[in-house]
Amino acid sequence: LSKVLDLPPEKLVKSISAVPVSKKRRVADFQLSIASVTEDSSSDCLAQDLDLQAQKLAERLKCDAVVSEISTGPGTLNFTINRELLAKTVLQQVLKDGSEYGVRSELFSTVPRQKAVIEFSSPNIAKKFHIGHLRSTIVGNFIANLKVALGHEVTRINYLGDWGMQFGLLGVGFQRFGNKEKLKFSPLQHLFEVYVQINKAAEDENTKKLAKDFFRKLEEHDEQTLSLWKQFRDFSIEEYIQVYKRLGVHFDEYSGESFYQEKSQEVLKMLEDKGLLQKTTKGTGIVDLSEKKDLSTFSTVMRSDGTSLYITRQVSPSVDLAAAIDRMNKHSWDTMIYVTDKSQSNHFQHLFQILKLMGYDWAERCQHVSFGLVQGMKTRRGEVIFLEDVLNEVRSRMLQNMASSKTTKEIDDPMETAEKVGLAALIIQDFRGLLSSDYQFSWDRALQSRGDTGVFLQYTHARLHSLEQMHGNEQLTDVNAACLQEPDAIAVLQHLLRYDEVLYRSSQDLQPKHIVSYLLTLSHLAAVAHKTLPVKGSTPDLAQARLCLFQAARSVLANGMKLLGITPVTQM
């Protein structure tokens, strides 16, 4: 193509794509989009002109040892590769690159390696870890995994809700109802119970006054008060780390609103010095964000009593401004991503606008990845209060399904397997659609073993793994690719060709759904091939080649699952 079109090969990389496999008909392997290589890139180039150009270009190209067939489609030129070469090249590449298959593709060769800071999960201490936090946790983890796989340097930050008036209330509650032993043994549960109890008395004037006093002492760094607050925070983090471990998630930094109290005062001073801080008649501090400077949009950054707002995150830009500036100084990142639900979109828009007004050009490299709400996530005991409730629920439901299933073999650690399979079910149900859409959660749908579920991915992985175990587990290098000519084998090979494009798409828009639908299709194709292309009872050459095909499929399936935050199981 490069010779005929007189274009450098690297210019063509993004114009040529692998053709998605079709159930209905045999397809070519690659296609060139004519529109992307024509000089006349104006959109009024008619469809029939493009078809004509495709036809003309096809006539100038000849088949050779690599390309066995050239055909045209609507606005495209299609190439079918010599079948033996296709099988040999794809399998060698997959098995040679291992966990880096797809990532090493030339699609990524122009992408600069960057430093990324990702803030996700971010629960509030002493409050419920609600389902929004679960979404933030798995989405943030996916983005971090993907960036790391692509060679970027990632810092994962958990920004805890660990400050504010509620700690005044919690402190008083703990003095009244708290128990040091329980705090040590199960901090999240105990603090939540204390908070619920004291909240019943929250309207009482005396309680209000005590809570205010406690929080004031906290702000003044009174030693005793601070030490109690520190215990709340430290014990909670210890327990969170254990729960996150079950999810396969870790953080490089546990930060929090408490870190930025003094710094948020400095930010208010900076805003004042730059003439950006205005006072309303009530004395609240605001920043005008409107184009015409008519206060049609503004952001409130300070309460009338002069303290920065940290009642809830939604209305607390000065603390977040301080955090963003501090992270830039500390990590000098290239991109910073916040993963929260879409109700906070406004807050982040304001945050980035204020940073820009303050003269920080890097505000343009901040990004808010928002997601929709999940309805209907209930456990048998009622609503979800802690992340642990969800993990325990999914594990017990999965154990039950495994126990009643006819295909389940004796496995070494059913508890752990059930947890990993159950998690895959949760993650796939969550990642199937656009992140920004709300969805109705259903345990039954998530845990089905057939259909497009995480259970099906795990089941496919386990089956392919046991096939390898049964036929000797060695890495196959030299196989006779001529043995892989059946349509079901070709379909798997063609699908493996597309993996890098799918990774590229997800890396561009940070949506996991591209990878999810790719892996589900891979599993369906592998399941069909597993039926029609037996290894057992075939001639040695044929058995080896098929085994190699299944090994490649399992390797890519495992890579993709790990990116999504799923640990592949080997027995089920």
Domain count of the chain? 3
Domain limits at 172?
Answer: 115-269+315-375
Q: Are residues 364 and 412 in the same domain?
A: no
State which of 64, 81, 98 marks the end of a domain: 81
Partnered with residue 367 across adjacent β-strands are: 337
Q: Are residues 550 and 441 in the same domain?
A: yes
**d(C-alpha 414, C-alpha 320), whole Å:** 44
Q: Are residues 261 and 204 in the same domain?
A: yes
Q: Are residues 247 and 346 in the same domain?
A: yes
Residue 310: what pLDDT?
43
Q: Are residues 128 and 229 in the same domain?
A: yes
**d(C-alpha 323, C-alpha 317), whole Å:** 10
Residue 298 forms part of a structural domain: no
Residue 313: what pLDDT?
47
Residue 448: what pLDDT?
87
Q: Residue 431 is which amino acid?
A: F
Residue 472 forms part of a structural domain: yes
Q: Are residues 559 and 441 in the same domain?
A: yes
**d(C-alpha 136, C-alpha 374), whole Å:** 12
Dihedral of the alpha carbons of 455, 458, 460, 464, in degrees to the nearest 10 = -160
Q: Measure the N-to-C terminal CA separation of the chain; round to a whole number of Å.
A: 48
**d(C-alpha 237, C-alpha 254), whole Å:** 8
Tens digit of pLDDT at every position of the chain (572 positions)? 999 999 998 889 889 999 999 888 888 999 999 988 886 555 556 777 889 999 999 999 999 999 999 999 999 999 999 999 999 999 999 999 999 999 999 999 888 999 999 999 999 888 777 777 899 999 999 999 999 999 999 999 999 989 888 899 999 999 999 999 999 999 989 999 999 999 898 888 999 999 999 999 998 999 999 999 999 999 999 999 998 999 999 999 999 989 998 888 899 899 999 999 998 888 888 999 998 888 888 888 877 665 555 434 444 678 899 999 999 999 999 999 999 999 999 999 999 999 999 999 999 999 999 999 988 887 777 777 788 888 889 999 999 988 887 666 678 889 999 999 999 999 999 999 999 999 998 888 888 888 899 999 999 999 999 999 998 766 666 789 999 999 999 999 999 999 999 999 999 999 999 999 999 999 999 999 999 999 999 999 999 999 999 999 999 999 999 999 999 999 98
CATH number of the domain to which 404 belongs: 1.10.730.10
**d(C-alpha 446, C-alpha 313), whole Å:** 32
Residue 33 forms part of a structural domain: yes
CATH number of the domain to which 177 belongs: 3.40.50.620
The residues annotated as belonging to the active site are 127, 130, 133
Q: Are residues 144 and 208 in the same domain?
A: yes
Look at the chain and count its residues. Answer: 572
CATH number of the domain to which 19 belongs: 3.30.1360.70
Structure tokens at 53: 């150009």
Q: Are residues 450 and 544 in the same domain?
A: yes
Provide the 3-class DSSP secondary structure of residue 143: helix
Residue 572 forms part of a structural domain: no
Q: Are residues 52 and 119 in the same domain?
A: no
Residue 88: what pLDDT?
95
Residue 245 forms part of a structural domain: yes
Please give the radius of gyration of the chain, using alpha carbons only, rounded to the nearest integer.
Answer: 28
Residue 12 forms part of a structural domain: yes
pLDDT tens per residue across span 118-159:
999 999 888 777 777 899 999 999 999 999 999 999 999 999
Q: Are residues 136 and 243 in the same domain?
A: yes
Provide the 3-class DSSP secondary structure of residue 340: strand
Residue 103 forms part of a structural domain: no
Helices (H) and strands (E) in the chain, counts: 21, 16
Contacts of 382 (CB under 8 A, 6+ apart): none
Residue 389 forms part of a structural domain: no
State which of 33, 64, 81 marks the end of a domain: 81
Contacts of 147 (CB under 8 A, 6+ apart): 116, 118, 154, 507
Longest CA pairwise span in the chain (Å): 89
Which of 340, 360, 363 is closest to 159 using CA atoms?
340
Tokens 């109705």 -> residue? 440
Q: Are residues 350 and 475 in the same domain?
A: no
Are the beta carbons of 300 and 310 closer than 8 angstroms?
no
DSSP letter at 21 equals: P
Are the beta carbons of 18 and 497 closer than 8 angstroms?
yes
**d(C-alpha 347, C-alpha 325), whole Å:** 16
Residue 153: what pLDDT?
98
